[in-house]
Amino acid sequence: MIRLLLADDEDLIRGALAALLDLEDDLDVVAQAATSTAAVDLALEHRPDVAVLDLEMPPADGLQAAQRIGEQLPTRIVLVTRHARPGVLRRALTAGVAGFVPKTTPAVRLAEILRDVADGRRYVDPDIAASALTEDDCPLTDRELDVLRAARTGISVERIAEQVHLAPGTVRNYLSNAMSKLHAESRHAAAHRAWEEGWI
């Protein structure tokens, strides 16, 4: 029996998926979580064979939860996403995530993927893999990415400066450079674009 943890902040999707996967004779959903924090806690409590995590869960994303689970357990991780960003795929694979699938994947196909992952294999959706191979390189510097990562939370320039240990004027310069490179009208738009591309 393959023991599963499902984590998705959308109750209807999570509940429907749990019901469908429980119909499979060899799959058992042992825990469900609505947040990335709960996913980590429940993984430590139930020690599932495979954790199926929504990439876009609050308060942190599914990738951060995957990394925390992977640091403490042999649980295999499958990330499910509505927005297949190639940069995120690369980070996920580097972090040891075993599967990366879009939310459009039928439940029957997902069950097959979960069996493969539980057996030690990896699975990456072919369309996501193709996008990753053709993705443009990130035009931003590491420091520009740092300030955009902080800006994505909506905090002030002064707070960003505190977080990244720079002067506010320097932060403004980095934000301005990033906005220019990404042809974005605001720092929030630039941060969102960088997030969509999977750079932050």
If asked whether residues 103 and 35 sit together in one domain, one would say yes
DSSP for 108-155, please give it: HHHHHHHHHHHTT--EE-HHHHHHHHHPPPP-S-HHHHHHHHHHTTT-
The reported pTM is 0.72
**Around 176, how many Cα atoms within 13 Å sit in the side-chain half-sphere?**
6
**What's the confidence (pLDDT) of residue 63?**
87
Total of domains in the chain: 2
**What's the confidence (pLDDT) of residue 60?**
73
Distance CA 18, CA 29 (A): 6
If asked whether residues 65 and 122 sit together in one domain, one would say yes
Q: Which residues of the chain have pLDDT under 70?
A: 83-84, 132-136
If asked whether residues 28 and 109 sit together in one domain, one would say yes
**What's the confidence (pLDDT) of residue 131?**
72
If asked whether residues 121 and 147 sit together in one domain, one would say no
If asked whether residues 118 and 151 sit together in one domain, one would say no
If asked whether residues 89 and 21 sit together in one domain, one would say yes
If asked whether residues 82 and 171 sit together in one domain, one would say no
End-to-end alpha carbon distance in the chain: 37
Q: Give the range of the structural domain holding residue 170, as residue numbers without chain letter.
A: 142-197
- Domain boundary (97, 113, 133) is at 133
